[in-house]
Every structure is written in C-alpha cells, then in structure tokens.
C-alpha cells in the first residue's frame, strides 16, 4: 500500500514538473521568436527608409535580412497572427522594435551608407581638390 502512494505521488510530481518544464520552454521559445521578429522588423523598416528611392537595393537588403534571420513575408504574417489576441505582449514587442529601430538609426547616422550618386560626387571632389 505504501508503494502505491509513493508511485502516485511520484507520477503527480513528474506530471507537474513536466508541465512546468514545457510551459517554461514555450515561454523562452516565444521570447526568442519575439526578439527575432523585432530584429527583422526594425532592420527592414530602417532599410526601407534608407533605400526609399532605390527599390532594387531595398529588395536586396530586405531579402538578405530575411535570409540571415530565416524569415520571409509569410512567416512574419504567421508570427503576427499568433499574437493577435495578446495585446500586452504586442505592446512589449512594439516597444522592443522601436528601441531597436532607434539604435539602428543612430548607427546609420554615425556611419552613413554611401549611395552610388554620393560616391561619384566624393570621387569627383577628391579629383578636383588635387
């Protein structure tokens, strides 16, 4: 009889531990996916602004971002759909996106990208200044 109680308690403890482990793991996976989404969304937004007059360059840059993070337009829509009814989590994600975008904007302000027309002017200026 004592063995039966022991096994019943053991099964209950294992079930609770398994549930806790799965819940914790799911939360970590969701948090990692949220950060990944924020990285992709922020980078794509900033790149869209940087290349707003150069759609071909934007498309190449966006595709390389998607490739690095293993995302595509469909996976972004699927991610957004999983958070449809979770307003509090969306608020947190958008806050993260805003912070990451601000960080990227600051980086590109300090390290501007030379556009083809910019580099031609720079080359012309360096030649005429000699």
Is residue 87 one of the residues assigned to a domain?
yes
Beta carbons of 96 and 35 less than 8 angstroms apart? yes
The count of structural domains within the chain is 1
Q: Is 12 a residue whose pLDDT tops 50?
A: yes
Is residue 123 one of the residues assigned to a domain?
no
Mean pLDDT value of segment 63-84: 84
113 confidence band (pLDDT: 50, 70, 90) = low
Range of the domain at 12: 2-111
99 confidence band (pLDDT: 50, 70, 90) = very high
pTM for the full predicted model: 0.66
**Calpha distance 8→53 (Å, rounded):** 68
Q: What is the pLDDT of residue 98?
A: 92
Is residue 33 one of the residues assigned to a domain?
yes
Is residue 88 one of the residues assigned to a domain?
yes
pLDDT in tens, 39-56: 888 988 888 888 888 889
Q: How close are the terminal C-alpha atoms of the chain, in Å?
A: 98
Q: Is 128 a residue whose pLDDT tops 80?
A: no
Instruction: Find the angle CA(40)-CA(41)-CA(44) to the nearest 5 degrees.
Output: 80
């Amino acid at each position: 009889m004592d063995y039966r109680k022991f096994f019943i308690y053991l099964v209950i403890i294992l079930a609770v531990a398994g549930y806790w482990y799965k819940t914790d793991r799911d939360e970590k996976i969701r948090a990692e996916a949220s950060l990944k989404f924020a990285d992709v969304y922020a980078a794509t937004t900033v790149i869209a602004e940087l290349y707003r007059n150069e759609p071909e360059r934007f498309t190449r840059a966006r595709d390389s971002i998607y490739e690095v993070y293993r995302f595509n337009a469909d996976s972004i829509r699927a991610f957004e759909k999983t958070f449809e009814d979770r307003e509090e989590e969306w608020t947190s994600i958008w806050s993260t996106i805003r912070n990451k975008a601000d960080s990227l904007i600051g980086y590109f302000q300090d390290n501007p990208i030379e556009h083809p027309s910019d580099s031609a002017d720079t080359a012309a200026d360096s030649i005429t200044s000699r």
